[in-house]
Amino acid sequence: MDELTLFGEAAKMIENFGVIGVIVLFVAFLVWQERQTSKREEADRAVLTNHLSQMIQEDNKSREELAIGLTKLAESVNNFQGRCGQIQNALQNEVDRMMKG
Average pLDDT over residues 56-73: 96
Report the pLDDT value the prediction gives residue 25, as an integer from 0 to 100: 81
Ordered by start, the domain boundaries in the chain are 2-100
Looking at per-residue confidence, does 101 or 45 come out higher? 45
Range in 9-13, 27-31, 55-59 the model is least confident about: 9-13
Q: How far is residue 92 from each of residues 9, 46, 49, 89, 100, measured CA to CA in Å?
A: 104, 69, 64, 5, 12
The answer, yes or no, to whether residue 63 has pLDDT greater than 60, is: yes
Residues 6+ apart with CB under 8 A from 15: 21
